[in-house]
Amino acid sequence: MLGIFDSGFGGLTVLKELAKVLPNYNFAYLGDNARAPYGSRSFESIYSYTLEAVRFLFSMGCPLVILACNTASAKALRTIQQKDLPVMAPNNRVLGIIRPMAEETGKLTETGHIGILGTEGTIASDSYLMEIAKFWPNLHVEQEPCPMLVPLVEKGLINHGATEMFIKEYTQKILDKDPRIDTLVLACTHYPLLQEIFAKVLPKNVKIASQAGIIAQKTLEYLSKHPEIDCQISKNPQKNGKIRFLTTDSADFFEKGANSFWGKDIRAEKVFLYSNNDYSYTN
Ligand code: DGL
């Protein structure tokens, strides 16, 4: 089983693409909806919540967990990989979504000028700037935090006038910083739901790059290069294309909220995360 973690619903946009390229794999999706959004939280909170989620998914039998959340990838991934994983589960893996996205950014622009839009946490961490500089040192990169967008999406206010107003404000700010930007990376897994509004407000010469498809392809590449992880994922349980949706909020809350991300009805299970290795869930 492959574990996918997000602070709330956003990672469903990534899971959807993953399920298309890995149709026979089993997935466990965990949304920490009870504590979302993570975007404006401190490093300590994001790190400890993410670690609890990773432990939980490991204890369910997921040898690979993907943090399908830019904020958790920016704030918690490195510490978990370097400090916790070697002690907790040295044969397991935790991957984020910033590095694989950074690897591709240079291919997305013609002018060599790109903009990154994300939560306050993702932008303040400078993770995109650092990762992109490793692969594409000549790219010009500007960033802009969009603190209102995740709360608006989580509240289901996608088509509200306020959402379009904030998108106009954030995109104007980043294009004022660098008018040569021709590609805006939506570096938050919630933003694909706002793609139409971005397209509406942006000048025609500015493209939108969203992550989900890229992350799915990169995961395929990772699995083909790491057969030892791939075969553990397939063993437990045998592959049959089953997806379990788990949430720290109520199952009912998740089932209703997930609809706009997933596009069809799902059944969710409420789980309780503890800081030890146990987990439990109720239907
Ligand atoms: N969807 C998450 C991301 O990609 C963050 C949402 C949040 O603020 O919790 O950054």
Segment 20-69, tens digit of pLDDT: 999 999 999 999 999 999 998 999 999 999 999 999 999 999 999 999 99
User: Does 235 have pLDDT greater than 80?
Assistant: no
- Report how far apart, in Å, the C-alpha atoms of 191 and of each of 56, 81, 121, 210 are: 26, 26, 15, 8
Residue 231 to residue 91: CA distance in whole angstroms: 12
Q: Look at phi and psi of residue 211 and say left if phi exceeds 0, alpha if psi is from -120 to 50, else beta.
A: alpha
Contact indicator for 67, 2 with CB cutoff of 8 Å: no
Mean per-residue pLDDT, 15-24: 95
Asked if residue 280 has pLDDT above 70, the reply is no
pLDDT, position 277:
46
Say yes or no: CB of residue 96 within 6 Å of ligand 1. no
| Residue 272: pLDDT band with limits 50, 70, 90 | very high
**Active site annotation includes 231:** no
Taken in order 220, 221, 222, 226, the sign of the CA dihedral is positive
Decide if 69 is catalytic.
yes
Entry pTM: 0.93
Render pLDDT for 146-204 as a digit per residue (tens, 0 to 9).
Answer: 999 999 998 889 999 999 999 999 999 999 999 999 999 999 999 999 999 999 999 99
Ligand 1 atom nearest the C-alpha of 39 is 8
Ligand 1 in contact with 144 (CB < 6 A)? no
